[in-house]
């Protein structure tokens, strides 16, 4: 089992569910408030969480500035994205995970299973999209 640095938005429903899955699988979590990190002084570290992901995938699609169109992640390069995220950490896709010398952003259960291992009863549910947004979108479609 691994010791995992888990960067979250406190109170996020999905981050809570993600942490529960990791703990159930026997991992030890060191939890950090993503929004209170001094990312401006740690841009290289922040960049490392995104690996070879396209810049647009670095963003929290539920962030107000992204949802309302104020920021279009498709229009940004890596340097611009990191500067925006350092100024406004709610833009960062979460959680950020660090364990066993590796970092990643987001919680794709297949990726996490292959990397760290999860409970054998892991449900392949969407553990990234905010449930509040899903409910709002479903109501909007009706």
Q: Give 117: exposed, middle or buried? Use CB within 10 Å, 0-12, 13-18, 19+.
A: middle
- Residues taking part in catalysis: 12
Coil vs helix vs strand at 36: helix
Residue whose tokens read 């833009």: 91
Say if residue 75 is exposed, middle or buried (CB neighbours under 10 Å; 0-12, 13-18, 19+): exposed
Q: What is the distance, to the nearest Å, from the Cα of residue 6 to the centroid of all Cα atoms in its chain?
A: 9
């Amino acid at each position: 089992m691994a010791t995992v640095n888990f960067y979250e938005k406190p109170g996020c429903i999905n981050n809570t569910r993600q942490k529960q899955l990791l703990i159930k699988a026997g991992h030890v979590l060191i939890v950090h408030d993503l929004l209170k990190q001094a990312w401006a002084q740690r841009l290289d570290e922040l960049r490392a969480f995104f690996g070879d992901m396209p810049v647009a995938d670095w963003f929290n699609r539920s962030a107000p500035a992204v949802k309302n169109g104020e920021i279009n992640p498709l229009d940004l390069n890596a340097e611009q994205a990191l500067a925006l995220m350092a100024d406004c950490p709610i833009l960062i896709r979460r959680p950020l995970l660090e364990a066993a010398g590796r970092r990643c952003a987001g919680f794709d259960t297949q990726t996490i299973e292959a990397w760290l291992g999860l409970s054998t009863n892991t449900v392949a549910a969407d553990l990234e999209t905010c449930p509040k947004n899903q409910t709002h979108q479903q109501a909007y479609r009706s």
